[in-house]
Amino acid sequence: MANPFLSMNSIRKSFGNVKALEDAKFHLEKGEVHALLGVNGAGKSTLMKILSGVYEQDEGEILLDGKIVHLRSPKVAKEQGIYCVYQEVDTAIVPELSVAENIMLDTIATHNNLFISTSKLYKEASNALKQLQAENISVQQPAHKLTLAEKQLVLIARALVSSAKIIIFDEPTAPLSLHESAKLFSVIHQLKAQGVGCIFISHRLPEVFEISDRITVMRDGTLVDVFQTVDATAEDIIEAMLGTSLHQEQHTSNYPLGETLLDVKELSDGHKLNNLSFTVSEGEIVGIVGLVGAGKTELAKALFGLELLTSGSVKLSGKEVRAAHPKDAISAGMALIPEERRKEGLFVHESLQTNASFPNLRKFSNLLFMNKSAEKSFAKDIIKRLQIKTDNTETPLIHLSGGNQQKVVIGKWTSRDSILYLFDEPTKGVDIGAKADIFGLIRELAESGKGCLYFSSEIQEAIGISDRILVMYNGQIVKEFSRGDATQERILLYASGGKEE
Amino acid sequence: MQAVGKKNKLKENGIQFLFKYGAIALLIIIILYFSSISEAFLTYANFTDILRSISIVTLLALGVTFTLVVGGFDLSVGSTMSLSTVVTASLMVWYEMPLWLVIILPILVGVLVGVLNSFLIVVLGIPDLLATLSMMYIVAGFHRTYTEGYSIYNNMPLTAGGTAPGQLSEAFLWIGQGRMLGLPVPVWIMLGMVLIAYVVLHHTRWGRVLYMTGGNAEAATLSGVNIRKVKFAAYVISGIFASMAGILFTARVGSGQIDAGAPMLMEAVAAVFVGYSVLGAGKPNAIGTFFGAAVIGILLNGLTILNLPYYAFDIIKGAVLVSALAVTYVYAKKRFTQTG
């Protein structure tokens, strides 16, 4: 093949000691829709951030139309015609400005004239929308009135008026309805016909097969394979995404399960969660697995009283729980280990002791006054039991590693005798050694008869820890696997919206 | 490479030192300086004077401390104090009420302002600075309207004709002007309140909940704290402290001056921020606030001895506030970048 329109060769990028990209490659033709796939952490977004000028590569070259380009900043990338439609469209939209001004934003920002003709602005903006067959959007209304899908179109139009040659779509369909996605695809077909190269990042395989011409799969910061979409099957892609030799030992301790502890029936929040039913028994670890945006965190928060339910029931030990605030969930016997540890789980500037006693201050006080020696001995107790690496209960948590911080988040609930633990991505940002400790802790909790819900997008880890796995896709539970049946391939297939024949 | 590292380390230690001991060092320098130029400065009489003069600001500042602890702010304390001052005086001078009502009613007024503040901030979600700024003007307007722009004093002529029937009683004036066990009564009240605030903030369950709400509202919620209630309580407490300051001011001056609290806001806020860093607390705290008020009080006292014109005092107060803020925020920035 002749020189491709865009080629990124031997790209390397490290953040500190962590290698994000190692000899990564990517090629794109004019008028092609090229899907970029990989599991979390494969390096997709780093590569795209380099292409859009957000990061600069440590090594490697980027050629555009055969010429080497240095994309030092997003501005330079845009000048070269490279645009990105981010998943969070709101970060790129100025809500108070009109649709026209939003479409022309880059042009206005680089304009040399002090005065800007409004009529010209409106005309160019509506031309761009016409090209996208979106004339129904009025260019004069403020952008905050638009739906998410319409805002996305505004961003695409913004790329068009600046005669974009490459547009990166980062999970564009995640917030869209089926109908809106179909509309987006017809827009992408249009762009393609105009010779624009489109890079399409998505976790949803059916869409990838529908829209793309080629598929590049990345793993561990490097290119694994490039498929012609017509020749590829879902199984091929998933195998490439996962690699092969990934199987780790599953835990086999088969202690008897107790009675049903948590009974969730037909739970919906009228927004993301749609008719979920499942149970957790005493001593059971149930994994809830899904890709980013599947609704796992929403489910954890709904159970814990942070999101309102529109229908359904939650029973804990046979008693109906109507949690309107986390304090209701806590007094019913639940504990949440939240996903964003520093933001939601800890007071990082406070000591281990202060953090550990906080969920149960009554236990550590006489009448109103804090009993600091009781606090201290509890803190010492969890340091010992959870093998937290610190010798001082007064150390502010900010000085502890991620894994040790996570142990504090788990340990602080053990003073309450909670009966159901919700773990939301508990191994995120935790090193391997601490990970093993945390798995050990979860198993200990289960062995002592507690119920555990393990929310994760790390499929392999979920297989390793869970007695049973529920797969979520698009706010629903689409498949249940018992231990032994679950393989990474099968789970990923269901989590990406596929089905086994 | 190593030399650079050493230099950075030195700089870091310097900032750390300034943060922990800066306020105390400043206090010692001020005291040494003023006592070297004036014999009248380092005397028991002058120090009880200073303590009495800071008692009102300290009460005000304790209220601000509570709102800062929960991650809010209260700019309306000065106006609330003014309102409480004129209400207190009017209850005695205009309406001849008994002493216990003269104490209780102004405090209820303070509670009311606190409730309104929390309504704006917690229920409507208006940012604290803006909500309490608006409240500051509304309350100031109320207190001037209430007195028709006049201060309230014994035997004052009334707009309706005749003179006011009541008097500020001796028992009431004792609160502001009396002495007990060698110290002025306002000093005892101040020390008592500092002690109560200290115990509540640092040794009770409530204090823990207040600090955690301010430290990380999301994590506090996930631990089962109703942060709306906690913030509500903090603004009400702030209102109560402001109205106590007003009562004390009336008793001290012997009349209900209008706009009594307005100039005190700045001093109170400065006191809290100087107190932030006392002994490296790194957060608003009761002892620090008292200490901050003392630093400012001593500074102003010394400058009075030096015959600095009164109208220049705001420059000094402002400079103290800015320096305290600078130390606090530079340190905070360091603390965050250190750990990424």
pLDDT-derived band at B11, boundaries 50, 70, 90: low
Return the top range by mean pLDDT from A299-308, B118-127, B321-330.
B118-127
pLDDT at residue B12 in the model: 64
Chain A hits for B282, CB-CB cut-off 8 Å, are 349
**At a CB cut-off of 8 Å and minimum separation 6, what does B320 contact?**
B270, B274, B295, B296, B299
Q: What percent of chain B has pLDDT over 90?
A: 51
pLDDT-derived band at A271, boundaries 50, 70, 90: confident
Q: Do B205 and A365 touch (CB under 8 A)?
A: yes
pLDDT at residue A39 in the model: 75
Between CA A139 and CA A161 the distance in angstroms is 14
pLDDT-derived band at A307, boundaries 50, 70, 90: confident
Give B220 or A436, the one with higher predicted confidence.
Answer: B220
ipTM: 0.78
> What is the pLDDT of chain A when averaged over all its residues?
85
- Average pLDDT of the residues in A355-384: 89
**pLDDT tens digits, B135-182:** 999 999 999 999 888 888 888 888 777 888 888 888 899 999 989 998
**pLDDT tens digits, A9-43:** 999 988 766 678 888 899 999 999 999 988 766 88
pLDDT-derived band at B336, boundaries 50, 70, 90: low
Write out the H or E segment, with its range, that includes residue B287.
helix B286-305
Maximum Cα–Cα distance across chain A:
80
Chain B hits for A304, CB-CB cut-off 8 Å, are 222
pLDDT-derived band at B3, boundaries 50, 70, 90: very low
pLDDT-derived band at B212, boundaries 50, 70, 90: very high
pLDDT above 70: residue A244? no
Count CA atoms closer than 13 A to A258's CA, side-chain side: 14
Domains annotated on chain A, with CATH = 6-242 (3.40.50.300), 259-333+420-426+451-501 (3.40.50.300), 340-417 (no CATH)
End-to-end Cα, chain A, rounded Å: 37
Cα distances (angstroms) measured from residue B264 to each of A394, B56, B65, B249, B304: 37, 9, 15, 11, 17
pLDDT-derived band at A2, boundaries 50, 70, 90: low
Q: Do B212 and A347 touch (CB under 8 A)?
A: yes
- With an 8 Å Cβ cutoff, is B16 touching chain A? no
Chain B hits for A326, CB-CB cut-off 8 Å, are 221-224
Chain A hits for B222, CB-CB cut-off 8 Å, are 304, 306, 326, 336, 338, 344-345
pLDDT-derived band at A205, boundaries 50, 70, 90: confident
Lowest mean pLDDT of B76-85, B111-120, B259-268, name the range: B259-268
Query: Of B170, B148, B171, B140, nearest to B246 (Cα)?
Result: B140
Nearest residue of B to residue A401, measured between CA atoms: B339
pLDDT above 90: residue A257? no
Residue type, B135: M
pLDDT at residue B311 in the model: 84
Give B59 or A135, the one with higher predicted confidence.
Answer: B59
pTM of the model: 0.77
- With an 8 Å Cβ cutoff, is B339 touching chain A? yes
Residues of A with CB under 8 A from a CB of B: 304, 306, 325-327, 330-331, 336, 338, 343-350, 354, 357-359, 361-362, 365, 368-370, 398-399
Write out the H or E segment, with its range, that includes residue A27.
strand A18-28
Q: Do B223 and A359 touch (CB under 8 A)?
A: yes
pLDDT at residue A115 in the model: 73
Lowest mean pLDDT of A69-78, A188-197, A246-255, A434-443, name the range: A246-255
E strands in A214-316: 214-219, 222-228, 260-268, 276-281, 285-289, 311-316
- Average pLDDT of the residues in A212-230: 89
- Average pLDDT of the residues in A353-359: 90
pLDDT at residue A246 in the model: 39
pLDDT at residue B80 in the model: 96
**pLDDT tens digits, A467-492:** 999 999 888 999 999 888 888 888 88
Q: Do A361 and B216 touch (CB under 8 A)?
A: no
Chain A hits for B221, CB-CB cut-off 8 Å, are 306, 325-326
Write out the H or E segment, with its range, that includes residue A169.
strand A166-170
Within 10 Å of residue A389's Cβ, how many Cβ atoms? 14
Lowest mean pLDDT of A279-283, A431-435, B173-177, name the range: A431-435
Q: Do B203 and A369 touch (CB under 8 A)?
A: yes
Between CA B156 and CA A473 the distance in angstroms is 78
pLDDT at residue B304 in the model: 85
pLDDT above 50: residue A245? no
Chain A hits for B220, CB-CB cut-off 8 Å, are 358
pLDDT above 90: residue B114? yes
Q: What percent of chain A has pLDDT over 90?
A: 20
Q: Do B219 and A331 touch (CB under 8 A)?
A: no
Between CA A482 and CA B179 the distance in angstroms is 80
pLDDT at residue A345 in the model: 86
Maximum Cα–Cα distance across chain B:
84
Domains annotated on chain B, with CATH = 23-339 (1.10.3470)
- Average pLDDT of the residues in B98-126: 94
- With an 8 Å Cβ cutoff, is B225 touching chain A? yes
